[in-house]
Structure 1
Amino acid sequence: MNREELDSKAQSLYEHLAELRTRLIYSVYILLIATGICYGFSDHIFNFVRAPIAPHLPGGGLIYTGPLDKFMAHIKLSFVFGVIISCPFWLYQVWKFVAPGLYQRERRYTFGFIFAGTGLFLLGAAFSYFIALPMAFNFLMHFGGDVDKPMISIDQYLGFFTQMCLMFGAAFELPLIIVILGMMGIVSQSFLRKNRRYAVMTLAVISAIITPPDLLSMVMMLAPMWVLFEASVVIVGIFERKREEAFAVNERE
């Protein structure tokens, strides 16, 4: 490899890092603005977040042991919900970073990428809030009998709640990630089918790590992720066929 090729590769790497830095800065600005907006509604957000565990608590309230605990809880919740409501905007920054690696015709899917990414993230968070969390609390709060009474601190609960909602939201982005990798030519439908069992095994391990330590929560995480993986295999195949058809048309022309 000669000097010019090395300089070209170094310049290309520098440009990618500079672009990544720009997108990260924009994303931080977006998150700060969204967090500030959510802080203005933090009381309503806190009541909404408390709802899944409230039926299992004496008096329906959480406890806190430090003077700053409740204030910091509102800050944390504002940030988490800032991430959620700003999802279309930081997904746009992700798309702007990966778009140069795609074909020109594939860059037209900007709106579809943002819409799908936002919908999948919100779907994952909603699945966690309305299905996974209530089922987890029904199991965990009644495990070992009803003699012992739960006294859950705000900090412990918010850590658990945030982890569940964000992890489910991120996990539901799986098909979008796989489709983008397929569009970039990194994975193919045949590759995904050939390695299906390894993918399912990996999903099972991820589900076991990010969910509460009970089989039900793990299955509740694994089942939709498996379905989304199978859907992504089909979608990658559709894009491959479209690419082959477009290539055939260009060859004839």
Structure 2
Amino acid sequence: MPLKEHLIEARNRLFKSALAMLPGVVIAWILYDPLMAALTQPLQDISRERDIVASLNFAGVTTSFDLKLQISLILGLVLASPVWIYQLWAFITPGLTKKERRYTLSYLFAAVPLFLAGIYAGWLIWPNIVRALTAFTPKGGTNIMEAIDYLQFALQLMLFMGVAFLVPVVLFALNAVGIIRGATYLKAWRFTILGVTIVSAMAAPGSDVMSMFFLGVPLLVLYFGAIGLCMLNDKRRDRREAKKADETAATADTATPMSELEGL
């Protein structure tokens, strides 16, 4: 396909993905108030339990509107994830072999629920992170946070957890098609820990250690869990190939006497 047709196809798939986001954006716009109440509930609990003032500050005139728009767009992106993940797969699949296409289609069905599960996991651990990061405010103190920073932190955490839950799918897919063995992943564990630390530091809006910890640990657990699955798959593949080699050798041994008899 010429480059121009590739660009046209990419534009069409992006347009379809954007259209799929619209229902999610509308839903998020309608549910903005209960969603904000749930996100800020940890602050109310902290204020009541620890006798401190923990609240959000909307500094600008348009801050409330900007936040509502940002949250609606991000939630629309999350709800439309089955569509844009499929569009991404459909864009790259013409360049794959039949075997690779079959593998990637099965992983596509695993990627969507894992991504949503990661978002939900981030939602569940969010109150604990807020409590951990505000635990150093002394009793009777005041912890007034910028609303944009607070909500960006929450959304970054949930999106990061969604992407982190996709790591096993990518690693196992590369292993299943025979590109990388599990032992190769394991050899790079030092660089993996370093990379996860850097990514966690970039994903966390602050420089505190606790936010990096809550972001990095799940990714490491998923990474090493995927390595274990890849190594089990390698053992199964090696046994299958060894069995094939034995059967081929046995066939050759039985065929040799027949060829010698025919020569006589």
46-55 or 17-26, larger mean C-alpha shift: 17-26
How far residue 232 of structure 1 moved from its aligned partner, in angstroms, is: 2.4
Taking structure 1 as the reference length, what is the TM-score of the superposition?
Answer: 0.76
Aligned identity (percent) is 27
11-20 or 44-53, larger mean C-alpha shift: 11-20
- Which residue number in structure 2 is paired with residue 118 of structure 1? 112
How far residue 154 of structure 1 moved from its aligned partner, in angstroms, is: 2.4
The question of whether the paired residues in 2 share the 8 Å contact of 1:124 and 1:169 is answered with: yes
Q: In the superposition, relative to structure 1, how do residues 96 and 103 fare at CA in structure 2: closer, same or farther (>3 Å)? A: same
62-71 or 17-26, larger mean C-alpha shift: 17-26
Which secondary structure state, in structure 1, belongs to the residue aligned with residue 145 of structure 2? coil
Structure 1 residue corresponding to 2:211, chosen from 202, 208, 217: 217
Q: Which amino acid aligns with 1:107?
A: R
Q: In the superposition, relative to structure 1, how do residues 59 and 138 fare at CA in structure 2: closer, same or farther (>3 Å)? A: closer
> Which structure's CA Rg is the greater one?
2
Taking structure 2 as the reference length, what is the TM-score of the superposition?
Answer: 0.73
For residues 22 and 195 of structure 2, what CA distance do their matches in structure 1 show?
34
For residues 229 and 14 of structure 2, what CA distance do their matches in structure 1 show?
29
The question of whether the paired residues in 2 share the 8 Å contact of 1:102 and 1:183 is answered with: no
Structure 2 residue corresponding to 1:188, chosen from 181, 186, 205: 181
- Which residue number in structure 1 is paired with residue 16 of structure 2? 26
Structure 1 residue corresponding to 2:37, chosen from 47, 59, 63: 47
- Which residue number in structure 2 is paired with residue 173 of structure 1? 166
- Which residue number in structure 1 is paired with residue 74 of structure 2? 80
Q: In the superposition, relative to structure 1, how do residues 50 and 56 fare at CA in structure 2: closer, same or farther (>3 Å)? A: same
Q: In the superposition, relative to structure 1, how do residues 43 and 93 fare at CA in structure 2: closer, same or farther (>3 Å)? A: same
Task: Provide the alpha-carbon RMSD of the alignment.
Answer: 3.3
Q: In the superposition, relative to structure 1, how do residues 233 and 101 fare at CA in structure 2: closer, same or farther (>3 Å)? A: farther
Structure 2: gaps of 5 or more residues: 249-264
Structure-to-structure mapping, 1:31-180, within 5 angstroms: 31-57=21-47, 62-109=56-103, 112-131=106-125, 133-180=126-173
Count of residue pairs brought into register by the alignment: 238
Q: In the superposition, relative to structure 1, how do residues 46 and 243 fare at CA in structure 2: closer, same or farther (>3 Å)? A: farther
For residues 150 and 103 of structure 1, what CA distance do their matches in structure 2 show?
56
154-163 or 24-33, larger mean C-alpha shift: 24-33
How far residue 47 of structure 1 moved from its aligned partner, in angstroms, is: 2.0
Which secondary structure state, in structure 2, belongs to the residue aligned with residue 146 of structure 1? coil
For residues 166 and 118 of structure 1, what CA distance do their matches in structure 2 show?
13
Q: Which amino acid aligns with 2:144?
A: M
